[in-house]
């Protein structure tokens, strides 16, 4: 039995039984992975995967029994690799952080600057993605750290640490009729055209659910991934903006002002790593810098 065969099983599972995707992650061909699976099943004299035609759709009972042991093997291998690298070159390597645009743009710049001063020889990669993709990147080992508000807690392969809490704010031009309000309620907000985040980003699903539960149907005239875009169109007078509080930069949009809203609740951004292996020391240091920012 070869490690390559077991690695193929693991990556096939975490990539949703999609051999094409697993092959891309492993930088090999789909036919090569199929051969590894066939060789393993031949050695075991039983099938590991459930098949529908040529497609893999799940694990057999044997596959389910093997998977925890395969996970343990590769967790130990990753830990040994990281311990070795930390011993040989503790301040050299690559750290990939998968995160949303909001985190990368508004929260991480000072942390990245601190980290670069501590580890100038570490190649730091910020990979921007949606929360679900961030989860997958960390789970597959394509990112060392994931930072997002949604999705991370829902995956049992990840170990999550609280980063910081935040709420939404309303933004309007200073000459807007709502600008004098300190706080706004949902019915009043719903009576104006809304500009906010795209579905799945920065609490948008909670915004929609909150309006729905109150029996309100606001007109969302524009949805964007970026608070800068939302702020630009609010400044242009197209509607009232709903953004994350950490994304408001009064110095950049001097014609805008904020109004508090509590109806959408409080959110938590999380830092996630794989739960089954230790990270490099400089990855641990990056997480400590994140936590120190909001301590």
In order of 129, 207, 268, the CA distances from 200 in angstroms are: 11, 11, 15
Residue 147: which pLDDT band, with cuts at 50, 70 and 90? very high
The pTM (predicted TM-score) of the whole model is: 0.79
Percentage of residues of the chain with pLDDT beyond 90: 69
Of the candidates 102, 98, 97, the one whose C-alpha atom is nearest the C-alpha of residue 119 is 97
Q: 132 near 151, Cβ under 8 Å?
A: yes
What pLDDT is attached to residue 72? 83
User: Which of 69-78, 80-89, 191-200 has the lowest average pLDDT?
Assistant: 69-78
Q: 189 near 262, Cβ under 8 Å?
A: no
Of 237 and 25, more confident: 237
CA dihedral 190, 193, 195, 197 (to 10 degrees): 40
φ, ψ at 170 (rounded to 5°): -95, 135
Domain 92-165+268-293 identical in fold to domain 168-265? yes
In order of 7, 69, 73, 144, 220, the CA distances from 254 in angstroms are: 54, 57, 56, 38, 24
**Close Cβ partners of 85 (under 8 Å, ≥ 6 residues apart):** 93, 280
Q: What is the CA radius of gyration of the chain?
A: 23
Tens digits of residue pLDDT in 13-57: 888 899 998 898 888 999 999 999 999 999 999 999 999 888 899
Tens digits of residue pLDDT in 91-116: 999 999 999 999 999 999 999 999 99
Of the candidates 275, 284, 291, 270, the one whose C-alpha atom is nearest the C-alpha of residue 95 is 284
Give the integer Cα–Cα distance in Å for 146 and 126.
10
Whether the per-residue pLDDT at 223 is higher than 80: the answer is yes
CATH number of 3-85: 1.10.10.10
Where are the chain's structural domains? 3-85, 92-165+268-293, 168-265
What pLDDT is attached to residue 276? 77
Selecting from 3.40.50.1000, 3.40.190.10, 2.40.110.10, 3.40.50.150, what CATH number does the domain 92-165+268-293 have?
3.40.190.10
Q: What average pLDDT does the chain have?
A: 92
Q: What is the largest CA-CA distance in the chain?
A: 75
Q: 271 near 290, Cβ under 8 Å?
A: yes
Beta partners for residue 95, in sequence order: 124
Superfamily of domain 168-265 in CATH is: Periplasmic binding protein-like II (3.40.190.10)
């Amino acid at each position: 039995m070869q490690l390559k065969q077991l690695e193929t099983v693991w990556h096939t599972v975490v990539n949703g039984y999609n051999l094409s995707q697993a092959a891309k992650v492993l930088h090999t061909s789909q036919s090569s992975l199929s051969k590894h699976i066939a060789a393993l099943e031949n050695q075991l004299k039983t099938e590991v995967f459930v098949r529908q035609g040529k497609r893999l759709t799940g694990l057999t009972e044997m596959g389910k029994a093997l998977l925890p042991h395969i996970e343990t093997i590769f967790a130990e291998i990753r830990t040994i690799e990281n311990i070795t690298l930390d011993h040989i070159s503790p301040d050299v390597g690559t750290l990939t952080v998968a995160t949303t645009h909001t985190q990368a743009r508004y929260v991480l710049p000072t942390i990245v600057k601190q980290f670069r001063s501590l580890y100038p020889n570490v190649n730091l990669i910020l990979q921007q993605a949606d929360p679900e993709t961030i989860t997958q990147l960390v789970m597959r080992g394509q990112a060392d750290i994931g930072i997002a508000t949604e999705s991370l807690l829902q995956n049992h392969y990840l170990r999550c640490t609280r980063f910081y809490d935040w709420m939404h704010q309303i933004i309007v031009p200073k000459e807007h009729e709502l600008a004098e309000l300190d706080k706004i309620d949902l019915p009043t907000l719903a009576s104006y055209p809304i500009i906010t985040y795209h579905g799945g980003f920065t609490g948008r699903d909670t915004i929609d659910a909150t309006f729905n539960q109150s029996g309100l149907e606001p007109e969302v005239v524009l949805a964007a991934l970026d608070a800068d875009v939302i702020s630009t169109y609010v400044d242009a007078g197209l509607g009232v903006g709903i953004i994350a509080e950490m994304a408001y930069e009064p110095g950049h949009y001097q014609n805008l002002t904020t109004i508090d809203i509590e109806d959408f609740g409080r959110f938590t951004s999380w830092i996630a790593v794989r739960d089954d292996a230790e990270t490099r020391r400089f990855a641990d240091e990056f997480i400590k810098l994140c936590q120190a920012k909001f301590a």
